[in-house]
């Protein structure tokens, strides 16, 4: 007979070796991405094979062969710019309407589908024309993630299938889902989506054992986030968060590029830029920006449309170009402080995240606002990935740190007249479940449109539309008599599901809000089939693992019960149970999921008489302790 392992009640056994897979942290950035791993709360970034740079530019080159990611892709900008995609994160989860606002700033052609809606009336996702290919932002992100996964596997010399991926706190539901979809395409199971500022705080907090209130100012390539966190005893509690999903260092580059173009125009040049010119100009602008971090002025040569011009840009000029952009970040910061009812002087430390915080004018603005020098002893390009790695370790059972995050934006429903009724306010701790009741406005109304929106504005058309669905089968009633309960659930990843139910009859429609800008399941399946041969294998493996996890829990539970109520266990039950456990353990060692489930069911049957005896005994005990009068 197999030896039984009995755990003390209350002591959670560590996950079994085979499931204790390695999990990495990934910072999937607009401009750069980084992958890191943590062991014993010591995170480190993973470098390329030659032990060089930790930073992978989030740039993909779609040549004739397989996609190329990173530095090598960026080098193609000078020779084959039309097939290079960068800053794709700005398009994650975006519909065409949103893209129009950033259209001029994107260095590639964004395709406008002929029908802007699918057959179901859902808006179509943006597609990019890159060389001969038509790609969704999700696919491009998946290519970046695949490359990071390969880097991690080569560096760690073992398969990597799980990760914590960071997203801007301000990412809405559509962009979060798109990120998860991209990971799925890259064969990565997302343990958790963690907000970038929170991850950064985790990296700092553990290093310094910090306690108190901290602000994380995160200015990346394309996004700005500000978060306020309270740290205490290993718990990182996000108090408030805010930001702008379309504001970052890329905008600094554009400001410089515009300045250079204007100078050329003054000099008589007439530039009619194509996509490659624009990319080269932006590359030059970025060099200017980076040089001005340490230098007071920089000379740059711009060669476009056949004319070459020389320019000098001073730090002072650059500061003036970005004043408005920086002021936008400080205004948002003040708003968030107000939201949380916190004064700048209450903040114990300010953490800087994102490459754009290297810009001296940005540092100065932050220091002035908080009246203190911000912390920057962890590389601002690496800090998010390091935090993500720490969280990946915590999630796989390696540490006790806990992140308590909030919803970045309010969630609500469209009501009469296009007014938004908020169901969940921004900065509500997640996970959260909230319900609200609505009613019909016409006699005999048999259906109700449920339109889910995200945002702070009062009118529906000023908020982001997340999903629409129709609750049908409402019985004929007078206007205002039906009671329709709409339930919102936001999980720990910040993802929303909505269900609606007519209370008087129980008519129910449950809809996992697949944001309209995400990929639908059919597209996803096709993409998986096309791009990944191992998809099916992975899926089966996951189901098998889940069956094993469940079976192991089952055995532990029965063993714990036998240890606790030994007196109630008959010899016959004990034999049966132990035999069933033995069978289940044998099945678990195999690869047959059905066999495991069957053996698990057999164990349940074998232990039923014992479970019933335990219930009976407890009820008798409870009754024995009470007077007859009280038992009713």
Partner 1 sequence: MSNTEQSAHKVCWSCKGPVEASALFCETCNAIQAPGQLDHFTRFGLEKSFAVDVDAMEATYLKQQQLLHPDRFASKSGREQALSSQQAASLNEAFETLKNPVARAHYMLRQAGHEPEGGEGHTVNDPELLMEAMEMREALDDAADKSTIDAMIKDTRKQARACEKDLEVAFDGHSYDAAKKLATRLRYLMKMTEEARAKKSRLAAA
Query: Could you list the active site residues?
Result: 27, 89, 196, 218
Min dist. Cβ of residue 191 to partner 1 (A): 5
Given the complex with partner 1, which of 116 and 335 has the nearer CB atom? 335
Binding status of residue 396 toward partner 1 by CB under 8 A: yes
Min dist. Cβ of residue 175 to partner 1 (A): 21
Which of 300, 342, 375, 556 is the binder for partner 1 (CB under 8 A)?
556
CA 560 to chain centre: 37
Min dist. Cβ of residue 491 to partner 1 (A): 6
Given the complex with partner 1, which of 103 and 481 has the nearer CB atom? 481
Q: Which stretch, 58-66, 97-105, 115-123, 603-611, contacts partner 1 (CB under 8 A)?
A: 603-611
Helix axes 137-156, 173-185, angle to 10 degrees: 50
- Count of chain residues binding partner 1 (CB under 8 A): 59
Given the complex with partner 1, which of 11 and 114 has the nearer CB atom? 11
Residue 63 phi/psi, 5° resolution? -85, -155
Query: Are 435 and 489 within 8 A, CB to CB?
Result: no
Min dist. Cβ of residue 185 to partner 1 (A): 22
Given the complex with partner 1, which of 235 and 375 has the nearer CB atom? 235
Binding status of residue 394 toward partner 1 by CB under 8 A: yes
Min dist. Cβ of residue 254 to partner 1 (A): 22
Which of 397, 444, 473, 590 is the binder for partner 1 (CB under 8 A)?
397
Given the complex with partner 1, which of 280 and 548 has the nearer CB atom? 548
Q: How far apart are CA 363 and CA 372, in angstroms?
A: 10
Binding status of residue 458 toward partner 1 by CB under 8 A: no
Q: What share of the chain is helix, strand, coil (3-state, %, to 5)?
A: 45, 25, 30
Q: How far is CA 98 from CA 91, 269, 420, in A?
A: 8, 33, 20
Tell how many helices (H) and how many strands (E) occur in the chain.
15, 27
Min dist. Cβ of residue 312 to partner 1 (A): 33
Q: How far apart are CA 38 and CA 29, in angstroms?
A: 20
- What mask of x and - would describe binding to partner 1 in positions 399 to 438, judged by CB under 8 A? -x-xxx-----------------------xxxxxxx--x-
Residue 226: which H helix or E strand, with range? strand 224-232
Q: How far is CA 71 from CA 7, 27, 147, 411, in A?
A: 51, 17, 12, 39
Binding status of residue 192 toward partner 1 by CB under 8 A: yes
Query: Are 318 and 292 within 8 A, CB to CB?
Result: yes
Min dist. Cβ of residue 457 to partner 1 (A): 13
Residue with tokens 């659930």: 489
Given the complex with partner 1, which of 47 and 614 has the nearer CB atom? 614
Query: Are 242 and 51 within 8 A, CB to CB?
Result: no
Given the complex with partner 1, which of 278 and 340 has the nearer CB atom? 340
Min dist. Cβ of residue 19 to partner 1 (A): 6
Terminal-residue alpha carbon distance, the chain: 47
Angle formed at CA 225 by CA 220 and CA 228, multiple of 5 degrees: 135
Which of 367, 395, 511, 532 is the binder for partner 1 (CB under 8 A)?
395
Q: How far apart are CA 196 and CA 168, in angstroms?
A: 5
Would you put residue 473 in left (φ > 0), alpha (ψ -120 to 50) or beta?
A: left
Which of 565, 574, 585, 598 is the binder for partner 1 (CB under 8 A)?
565
Rule CB under 8 A: which of 357-386 touch partner 1? none
Closest to 160 measured CA to CA, from 35, 33, 30, 16:
35
Residue with tokens 């997203």: 167
Binding status of residue 17 toward partner 1 by CB under 8 A: no
Render 547-605 in DSSP notation, one character per residue: HHHHHHHHHHHHHHHHHHTGGG--HHHHHHHHHHHHHHHHHHHSS-HHHHHHHHHHHHH
Four-residue CA torsion sign, 544, 546, 550, 556: positive
Min dist. Cβ of residue 432 to partner 1 (A): 5
Q: How far apart are CA 420 and CA 426, in angstroms?
A: 14
Strands 402-404 and 349-353, by their bridges, are unpaired
Token readout for 137 is 């932002």
Q: How far apart are CA 441 and CA 323, in angstroms?
A: 50
Binding status of residue 554 toward partner 1 by CB under 8 A: yes
Closest to 332 measured CA to CA, from 168, 538, 573, 115:
168
Given the complex with partner 1, which of 214 and 318 has the nearer CB atom? 214
Which of 19, 207, 277, 421 is the binder for partner 1 (CB under 8 A)?
19
Binding status of residue 539 toward partner 1 by CB under 8 A: no
Sequence-separated (6 or more) residues with CB below 8 Å from residue 462: 455
Q: Which stretch, 11-19, 249-257, 306-314, 590-598, contacts partner 1 (CB under 8 A)?
A: 11-19
Rule CB under 8 A: which of 470-499 touch partner 1? 489, 491-492
Min dist. Cβ of residue 576 to partner 1 (A): 15
Binding status of residue 614 toward partner 1 by CB under 8 A: yes
Min dist. Cβ of residue 335 to partner 1 (A): 5
- What mask of x and - would describe binding to partner 1 in positions 83 to 122, judged by CB under 8 A? ----------------------------------------
Given the complex with partner 1, which of 521 and 630 has the nearer CB atom? 630
Which of 550, 572, 592, 601 is the binder for partner 1 (CB under 8 A)?
550
- Three-state secondary structure readout of 370-416: HCCCCECCCCCCCHHHHHHHHHHHHHCCCCCCEEECECCCCEEEEEH
Which of 99, 375, 560, 602 is the binder for partner 1 (CB under 8 A)?
560
Rule CB under 8 A: which of 319-348 touch partner 1? 331, 334-335, 338
Min dist. Cβ of residue 6 to partner 1 (A): 11
Which of 3, 5, 10, 571 is the binder for partner 1 (CB under 8 A)?
10
Rule CB under 8 A: which of 260-319 touch partner 1? none
Q: How far apart are CA 19 and CA 15, in angstroms?
A: 6
Residue 31 phi/psi, 5° resolution? -100, -45
Q: Spell 152-182 as b/e; 16+ CB within 10 A means b.
A: bbebeeeebbbbbbbbbbbbbbbbbbbbbbb
Q: How far apart are CA 631 and CA 464, in angstroms?
A: 56
Binding status of residue 9 toward partner 1 by CB under 8 A: yes
Which residues contact partner 1 by CB under 8 A?
9-12, 15, 19-20, 191-192, 232-235, 237, 331, 334-335, 338, 391, 394-397, 400, 402-404, 428-434, 437, 489, 491-492, 546, 549-550, 553-554, 556-558, 560-561, 564-565, 604, 607-608, 611, 614-615, 618-619, 622
């Amino acid at each position: 007979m197999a030896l039984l392992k009995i755990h003390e009640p209350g002591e959670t056994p560590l996950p079994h070796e085979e499931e204790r897979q390695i999990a990495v942290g990934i910072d999937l950035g607009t401009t750069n991405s980084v992958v890191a791993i943590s062991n014993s709360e010591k995170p480190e970034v993973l470098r390329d094979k030659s032990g060089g740079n930790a930073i992978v530019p989030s740039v993909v080159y779609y040549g004739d062969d397989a996609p190329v990611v990173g530095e090598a892709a960026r080098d193609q900008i000078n020779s084959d710019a039309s097939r290079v995609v960068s800053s794709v994160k700005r398009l994650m989860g975006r519909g065409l309407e949103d893209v129009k606002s950033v259209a001029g700033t994107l260095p590639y052609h964004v395709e406008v589908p002929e029908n802007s809606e699918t057959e179901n009336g859902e808006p179509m996702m943006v597609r990019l024309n890159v060389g001969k290919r038509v790609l969704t932002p999700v696919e491009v992100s998946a290519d970046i993630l695949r490359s990071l996964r390969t880097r991690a596997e080569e560096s760690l010399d073992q398969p990597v299938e799980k990760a914590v991926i960071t997203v801007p706190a301000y990412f809405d539901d559509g962009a979060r889902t798109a990120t998860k979809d991209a990971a799925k395409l890259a064969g990565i199971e997302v343990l958790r989506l963690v907000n970038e500022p929170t991850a950064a705080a985790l990296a700092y907090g553990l290093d310094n054992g910090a306690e108190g209130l901290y602000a994380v100012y995160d200015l990346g390539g394309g996004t700005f986030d500000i978060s306020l966190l309270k740290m205490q005893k290993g718990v990182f509690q996000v108090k408030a968060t805010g930001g702008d999903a379309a504001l970052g260092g890329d905008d600094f580059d554009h400001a410089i590029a515009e300045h250079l173009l204007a100078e050329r125009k003054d000099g008589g040049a007439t530039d009619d830029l194509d996509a490659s010119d624009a990319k080269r100009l932006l590359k030059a602008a970025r060099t200017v920006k980076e040089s001005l971090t340490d230098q007071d002025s920089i000379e740059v040569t711009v060669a476009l449309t056949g004319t070459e011009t020389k320019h000098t840009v001073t730090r002072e000029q650059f500061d003036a170009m970005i004043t408005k952009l920086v002021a936008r970040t400080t205004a948002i910061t003040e708003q968030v402080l107000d939201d949380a009812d916190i004064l700048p002087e209450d903040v114990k430390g300010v953490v800087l995240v994102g490459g754009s915080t290297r810009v001296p004018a940005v540092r100065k603005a932050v220091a002035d606002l908080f009246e203190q020098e911000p912390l920057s002893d962890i590389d601002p390009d690496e800090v998010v990935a390091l935090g993500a790695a720490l969280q990946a370790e915590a999630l796989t059972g390696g540490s006790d740190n806990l992140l308590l995050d909030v919803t970045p934006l309010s969630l609500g429903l469209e009501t009469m007249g296009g007014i938004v009724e908020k169901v969940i306010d921004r900065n509500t701790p997640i996970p959260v479940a909230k319900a609200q009741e609505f009613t019909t406005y016409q006699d005999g109304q048999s259906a109700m449109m449920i339109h889910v929106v995200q945002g702070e504005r009062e009118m529906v058309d000023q908020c982001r539309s997340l999903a629409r669905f129709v609750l049908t089968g409402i019985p004929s009633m007078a206007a205002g008599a039906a009671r329709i309960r709409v339930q919102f659930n936001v999980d720990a990843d910040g993802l929303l599901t909505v269900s609606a139910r007519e209370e008087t009859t129980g008519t129910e429609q449950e809809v996992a809000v697949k944001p309209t800008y995400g990929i639908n399941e059919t597209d996803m399946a096709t993409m998986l089939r096309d791009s990944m041969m191992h998809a099916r294998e992975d899926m089966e493996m996951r189901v098998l693992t889940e069956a094993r996890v469940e079976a192991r829990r089952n055995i532990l539970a029965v063993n714990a019960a036998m240890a606790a109520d030994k007196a109630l266990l008959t010899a016959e039950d004990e034999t049966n149970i132990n035999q069933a456990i033995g069978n289940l353990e044998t099945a678990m060692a195999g690869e047959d999921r059905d066999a495991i489930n069957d053996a698990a069911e057999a164990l349940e049957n074998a232990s039923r008489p014992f479970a019933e005896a335990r219930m009976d005994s407890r009820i008798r005990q409870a009754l024995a302790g009470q007077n007859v009068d009280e038992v009713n």
